[in-house]
Chain A
Amino acid sequence: MTTNKNNHPVQHVPGFTAEEVVRKIGFCSQLKGGVIMDVVNDEQARIAEEAGACAVMALERVPADIRKHGGVARASDPSMIKAIQKAVSIPVMAKVRIGHFVEAQILEALEVDCIDESEVLTPADEQFHVDKRVFKTPFVCGCRDLGEALRRIHEGAAMIRTKGEAGTGNVVEAVRHLRALMSQIRELQGQDFRFLEKKAAELRVPYDLVAWVAENQKLPVPNFSAGGVATPADAALMMQLGAEAVFVGSGVFKSGNPVQRAKAIVRAVLHFKEPMVLAEVSAGLGEPMVGIDINVMPPSERYAGRGI
């Protein structure tokens, strides 16, 4: 237990000061129950805000197009990010390459509200992720399991999302990652010191973080879902599996009717446990984005394996 400078006790999170718990993790908590949408220009950003997105992710190409075009995917042009910041009043996030702390410094200078250190871009460092503790801006990072999630939190991530397999319109990997995460959290419940100590060594994270999760039975930061969500039902599926909010990448603006689909996904996240409402919002949405069967993708085209 720690206290902030006013002696208001806050829930201690290993590696975070009490003030950072409230300011960084608190910011991410404001996005709960919401939908964060990928946008590539100010017009899409306005459409997303109007449809009820709680934040937008500014990037030059949505993951589906990054896949199509190939080459090295990098952080977006600052002028494009600025145009989006000017267009909307909701938080604006942007992506940096894994380990590219200078891209992160640039995004912080632009006053981006949250930085996504993302496997969707081409990794810049094969040994280290960005040391997120030295930044004032909160970071979100992807994970495939509890080990990745806790390593990122130890580095300072204030929000975790599943990696899924971005740009495929196929939710199967996001489901796999969230199920792995949740079952590994449950596995820690009631375990003794020796087990948790062994687990900490195995996951390559401090014992305190593992003990925190064992005791609280959740991650110490908001746990969102991303990577392959294309329909309102996909979004509700992730929420029912335990996600606290949903990122939608290519799913909205690569579909036949982005406005209606965006609105439908926002409502599906609100009513994720109500099949009647889900049936209503899923009707007549037009063409979803074309999906990719992950089983036929060569491993080199998969993004989820990026990062350490």
Chain B
Amino acid sequence: MSATPVVVSDVDAVGPLTGVLALQGDFAEHEAALQRAQLPTRQIRSPLDLAGIKALVLPGGESTTMLRLLDIEGLWEPMSHAVHSGMPVFATCAGMILLAERVENPVQRSFGVLPITVVRNGYGRQLHSGTFLLRSEILPTGTTGTFIRAPRITHTGPECEVLAFRGDDPVLVQKGNVLAACFHPELVFSHVVIARFAAMVREQADCFTAAG
């Protein structure tokens, strides 16, 4: 993975189709953010919706609600397959909880694709939500993230790259093509983290085009 900051450029709106898990949460805000980064999107509500997507986003919301609906809609297995497939995946907040290897407070199931331990609501209730400066060697100085009842990463595996910190806590992590944030870049018009993901998606699509 490139360690340089990425910037969205003017490209055709027709790009790699990105699926956004739309069981509950701010999936509409994620779709809008991806579309501003020139990526076409599709809402994922059933296993059939996964066909043909080149990238996947797991939005913010309530992870317990999403977990229940993943089971009922028959999406647990297909989604697990998709997040482990190597396609670019981006997750925020509740989405990151679904990707973690280990979840605490309470302990709950997850896809286990990111070698991290997360504590749900690890920074406290909504009263403690807020916008904080991120410490990062690769993001532009002054980049902030808004944390909303955010999960706290308490452990990262050696193969997991930490791209940004809030204080001493990792808050933006990546392993291979899987990127996850404790904060909500989708809630602002333009955020470097969304741009980074969009670049990952295009890079991957270009690889396939070149190979095919």
Contacts and interface: CB of A to CB of B under 8 A. Distances in A.
B24 A54 contact: yes
Question: Secondary structure at chain B's binding surface: helix, strand, loop or mixed?
Answer: loop
Interface stretch (B1-9, B61-69, B159-167, B172-180): B61-69
A9 interface: yes
User: Chain B: interface residue count, which band?
Assistant: 35 or more
A207 to B, nearest CB: 24
A89 interface: yes
A113 interface: yes
A27 B27 contact: no
Contact of A52 (B65, B128, B187): B65
A91 B146 contact: no
A53 B65 CA distance: 6
Nearest to A7: B142
Nearest to B121: A89
B149 A27 contact: yes
A137 B126 CA distance: 7
Contact of A30 (B26, B121, B190): B26
A32 B24 contact: yes
B148 A27 contact: yes
A50 B27 CA distance: 22
Interface in B10-65: 22-29, 45, 60-62, 64-65
B144 A54 contact: no
A136 B124 CA distance: 14
B211 interface: no
B157 interface: no
B99 interface: no
B202 interface: no
B187 A10 contact: yes
A26 B189 CA distance: 13
A52 B27 contact: no
Q: Of residues B62, B105, B128, B142, which shows the largest number of chain A Cβ atoms within 10 Å of its Cβ?
A: B62
B93 A22 contact: no
B78 interface: no
A112 B124 CA distance: 11
A58 interface: no
A189 interface: no
B106 A89 contact: yes
B139 to A, nearest CB: 10
Interface in A100-116: 108, 111-114
Contacts of A9: 188-190
Nearest to A108: B127
A33 B148 contact: no
A22 B187 contact: yes
Contacts of A112: 125
Nearest to A20: B131
Interface of A: 4-11, 19, 21-23, 26-27, 29-34, 49-55, 85, 89-91, 108, 111-114, 136-138, 263, 266-267, 270-271
Interface of B: 22-29, 45, 60-62, 64-65, 68-69, 72-73, 93-94, 105-106, 120-121, 124-131, 133, 142-144, 146, 148-149, 184, 187-191
29 contacts: A5-B131, A6-B143, A6-B144, A8-B190, A11-B189, A22-B184, A22-B188, A26-B148, A27-B126, A29-B29, A30-B25, A30-B26, A30-B60, A30-B61, A31-B62, A32-B26, A33-B22, A53-B65, A54-B62, A89-B64, A89-B106, A90-B64, A91-B149, A108-B127, A113-B126, A136-B127, A137-B126, A263-B72, A270-B24
